[in-house]
Amino acid sequence: MEPRNRSIFSLAVIVASLGYFVDIYDLVLFGIIRVSSLTDLGLTADQVRERGLLLINVQMAGMLIGGILFGILGDKKGRLKVLFGSIILYSIANFANGFVHGVPGYLVWRFLAGLGLAGELGAGVTLVAEVLPKEKRGYGTMLIPTIGVSGAVVAGLIAEEFSWRTCYFIGGGLGLLLLLLRLGVLESGMFNAMKQTSVSKGNFLSLFTQGKRFMKYLKCILIGLPTWYVVGILVFFSNDFAQQMGVRGKVNPATAVMVSYGGLVVGDLLSGIISQVWKSRKKTVLLFLVLTALVILGYFNLFNATPNAFYWICFGLGVTVGYWAIFVTIAAEQFGTNLRATVTTTVTNFVRAMLIPISALYALLQRSFSLYASGAIVGALCLVIALVAASSIEETFHKDLNYTE
């Protein structure tokens, strides 16, 4: 077992935080340079839209498959091996992205980049949760998304100064530098102890074969629903909503994304601190879900507002869905050592993938309702589901994680 006085600024925490920084850098960077890169490859405006959507879906498929693959490997082979493997794959893919000269190659390397990125957050949070004592692990897991989300801001700044190819090279270089840092990180003592036993490890299907276990797993996913509704619908399509509400001036979605991610940094920090002060993950998530509902209500009442007011609300939305830090911690704390990496890694990627049905429902509703009403209905549904899931999930703040399923 690790010493009980491990610092929240240990190398494991720093490396996991920087790993998520690289993860967010890449995801946001691709959204920023997607159009410019495809245009540079000679595609027409219609082709850019069509191929751009295909690239996003292929990357998401990579993350879904990678989430399951690296989650299982994290419980079978170790948290550190997943961290090493994921960053090597991500780094190679990003360097290759910078060399592509056609859409087929771009599709292959975006898929592999998504595959590599999928292992980052889950393995990092699992490792940190297991090496820190329970009184401190909330602070450690708080730092991971707090530092990591700032990668979005860096991606925006880098994209303004360099060509799209150079941006990918920088991302690959950041990954290799991170790999050097990881050489000094030690494996979780809980995993090493569990590895010597005959207990089943990383059995993904076991999450679906027992009713109580499945419901616990499902709740871990559902409490994260509003995060990607806010980012993927309200923020990404902020210009459309602003136009519907008669905002007095042009709202730039890129700016809305930047300020919302700035809010996420603040929210992740606040939610982590509040959960430690209250000694409750559950109460903290419920608080942030209520605050999210209030800010969303404010968002849908921005009639005739100024673009600056709109951006401030987007910042507020980022703050309130900043319970991502606690959401991931809850997932890590709900399950035993033999399933912890599998759960934490798959949950985070399944929540990201929930943007697909959320977007589909949003598009479907627009056949009968306005864009404005469709967005509000989807938001209300996501919030109700998340509140029900959060109110019935187990409190895990004081839970000893040294056990198996």
Rg (CA), the chain: 20
In a domain, 193, yes or no: no
CA 13 – CA 9 distance, rounded (Å):
6
Together in a domain, 160 and 217: no
In a domain, 192, yes or no: no
Together in a domain, 370 and 331: yes
Together in a domain, 172 and 223: no
CA angle 257/290/211 to nearest 5° reads 100
Of the three residues 183, 212, 229, the one that is the final residue of a domain is: 183
Residue with tokens 């957050």: 121
Q: Name the band, by pLDDT with cuts 50, 70 and 90, for residue 121.
A: confident
Together in a domain, 231 and 364: yes
- Give the domain CATH number at 399: 1.20.1250.20
DSSP 67-88: HHHHHHHHHHT-HHHHHHHHHH
Using alpha carbons, select from 291, 287, 286, 296 the residue that is nearest to residue 379: 296
Together in a domain, 168 and 298: no
Instruction: Please state the rounded mean pLDDT for residues 14-22.
Output: 88
Q: In which domain, by residue range, is 352 found?
A: 204-405
In a domain, 197, yes or no: no
Together in a domain, 146 and 249: no
Inter-axis angle of helices 355-365 and 340-353, nearest 10:
20
pTM across the whole model = 0.85
In a domain, 199, yes or no: no
Total structural domains within the chain? 2
Together in a domain, 134 and 235: no
pLDDT, tens only, 200-257: 888 999 999 999 999 999 999 999 999 989 988 999 888 889 999 999 999 988 788 8
pLDDT, tens only, 306-319: 999 999 999 999 99
Whether 6 and 165 have beta carbons less than 8 Å apart is answered as no
Handedness of CA 216, 397, 352, 236 (dihedral sign): positive
Looking at the chain, the whole-number percentage of residues with pLDDT higher than 70 is 98
Together in a domain, 173 and 243: no
In a domain, 189, yes or no: no
What pLDDT, on the 0 to 100 scale, is given for residue 302? Answer: 94
In a domain, 305, yes or no: yes
Using alpha carbons, select from 340, 390, 398 the residue that is nearest to residue 124: 340
In a domain, 188, yes or no: no
What pLDDT, on the 0 to 100 scale, is given for residue 277? Answer: 93
> Does an H or E element contain 186, and which?
none
Of the three residues 183, 214, 249, the one that is the final residue of a domain is: 183
In a domain, 26, yes or no: yes
- Buried-exposed string 102-121: b where 16+ CB fall within 10 A, e elsewhere: ebeebbbbbbbbbbbbbbbb
Together in a domain, 226 and 268: yes
Together in a domain, 169 and 231: no
CA 159 – CA 166 distance, rounded (Å):
9
> Does an H or E element contain 127, and which?
helix 120-131
Of the three residues 183, 215, 245, the one that is the final residue of a domain is: 183
What pLDDT, on the 0 to 100 scale, is given for residue 2? Answer: 42
Those residues whose C-beta lies under 8 Å from the C-beta of residue 53, and which sit 6 or more positions away, are: none
Together in a domain, 52 and 5: yes
Together in a domain, 138 and 241: no
